[in-house]
A and B are shown apart, each in its own frame.
Chain A
Amino acid sequence: MTDDQRRLSRRAALRCMAYGGAGTLFALSGGILTPMDLAMAADSKEAAAAVGKPLFVQFSDTHIGFAKDANPDVSGTLSRAIDLVNALPGQPALVIHTGDITHLSRAGEFDLAQQLFSKLRTTELHTTPGEHDVADPTVSEYFSRFGKPSQNRGYYSFDHAGVHFIALINVLNFKAGGLGSLGAQQLDWVAADLKGRSSSTPIVVFAHMPLWTVYEPWGWGTGDADQLLLQLQRFGSVTVLNGHIHQIIQKVEGNVTFHTARSTAYPQPAAGQAAGPGPLKVPVEQLPGMLGVTSVSILKHPRALALSDASLAGA
């Protein structure tokens, strides 16, 4: 950071990091991605206006309850991420959480997470669970708090600003040796949910585990996601958001953009680069740059969404 930047107010500095720290912003138009230089965009009123205010911000893998070496203060880093979002020049209409809210599915962890999220200026929060949220013996702690929109099924949909959001659950009913799964019942529900919807409706699908196979030996994928993608094929703009792997990976296939978010708690090794997908211990000064949130904007209403990742570096 330069001396000039250091003199900026905290709010402006956060804004700078929210954009500059992102590195790359992808403008999605009709399924074609155009990377934009966000560090420059932050200095340009014109570009900032084009980006507009985020439609929503994605949190993921907050792992409240984790306290090991990779990050002994996950509540602190989540609070910093919340401060970062609260300081955005335009507040998002809603916030989504793509799971692993807690580390061990304990009641106290959920309570603390909800207490921290209550400090967001944006009050509309939509969640889907990660496998760490459904690890209690009765699989009830998550659903007793967040089960209502889905009538405890885990999957539901809603609309906002002409965008159709679909929350899916792929962390129950794992098969041995395997990837996440959606299951026939949920896939049938998606088909019914999409039926009759115009192909020009922008679709945002979010789940915890990646909905494409990132790395099978670590279970980084969803076994029956291909059946979901077939149903999404006819739509002109589809954004598929996940967490789970604690790092940003993006790919585009036709009109579908797949994007995995960073964690706010700790990074994980790149696929296959460790004995297993556990917490990655990095030097303390590197940690904030590996944590963050994703913000998604409407670029050209109604057919375009733009994605941007903000890290906690310096926040």
Chain B
Amino acid sequence: MRFLNHGLLTAVCLLASWQGMATAPAAPDPSGTVQVEIRNFMFEPRQVKIRSGATVTWINRDDEPHTVVSDPDLFRSGALDTDMSFAFRFDRPGTYHVICSIHPQMSATIVVE
């Protein structure tokens, strides 16, 4: 049982580190704003790590409209047409998932430290 738990833990750690390598976190600029681009039906980068109090700005570079909707339900951007943007300031530490409510296969994570 102990061995099993250990193995599971290792697997989770490996998975976590693999995800970290696969999606390089964006470094916040000195003003505390991080920009996420929406392009080809994807959030770029897919994972963002910021300090509490920083702002994330999403900008839509597709011809198709997208939205940015958080889970848990903190904010909804409304439909962003091409080159429109939406910003949200994260004041509380935690992990926030966002999706596009028009194309829910698009997802990303914001980690607030």
Query: A residues near B, CB below 8 A?
Result: 68-69, 103-106, 131-132, 134-139, 171, 174-180, 217-219, 275-279
Which of chain A's residues have a CB closer than 8 A to the CB of B107?
176-177
Q: Chain B's interface: helix, strand, loop or mixed, by majority?
A: loop
Query: B residues near A, CB below 8 A?
Result: 40-41, 62-65, 67, 71, 76-79, 81-82, 97, 99, 101-105, 107
Select B81's contact among A69, A104, A134, A276, beta carbons within 8 Å. Answer: A104
If the complex has contacts A137-B76, A275-B40, are A176 and B67 also in contact, measured as CB distance less than 8 A? no
A139 to B78, CA, bound (A): 9
A47 to B100, CA, bound (A): 47
B15 CB → nearest A CB, Å? 16
A104 to B67, CA, bound (A): 10
Which of chain A's residues have a CB closer than 8 A to the CB of B105?
177-178, 217-219
Whether A137 contacts B78 by the Cβ 8 Å rule is yes
Which of chain B's residues have a CB closer than 8 A to the CB of A137?
76-78
A178 to B106, CA, bound (A): 8
A176 to B97, CA, bound (A): 8
Which of chain B's residues have a CB closer than 8 A to the CB of A69?
63
B66 CB → nearest A CB, Å? 9
Whether B65 contacts A176 by the Cβ 8 Å rule is no
A178 to B97, CA, bound (A): 13
A137 to B63, CA, bound (A): 20
Chain A residue nearest to B42 (CB atoms) is A276
A279 to B102, CA, bound (A): 14
Whether A176 contacts B104 by the Cβ 8 Å rule is yes
Whether A174 contacts B101 by the Cβ 8 Å rule is yes
Please list 10 pairs of residues, one from A and one from B, whose beta carbons are closer than 8 Å in the complex, sorted by A's number: A131-B101, A132-B79, A135-B78, A137-B76, A138-B76, A174-B99, A177-B105, A218-B105, A277-B103, A278-B63
Which of chain B's residues have a CB closer than 8 A to the CB of A275?
40-41
Whether A278 contacts B41 by the Cβ 8 Å rule is yes
B73 CB → nearest A CB, Å? 10
Which of chain A's residues have a CB closer than 8 A to the CB of B104?
131, 174-180, 219
Instruction: Add 8 more A-B contacts to A176-B104, A276-B41, A278-B64 (CB < 8 A).
Output: A103-B79, A104-B79, A131-B104, A136-B78, A178-B105, A217-B105, A219-B104, A276-B40
Which of chain B's residues have a CB closer than 8 A to the CB of A219?
103-105
Select A136's contact among B63, B64, B79, B97, beta carbons within 8 Å. Answer: B79
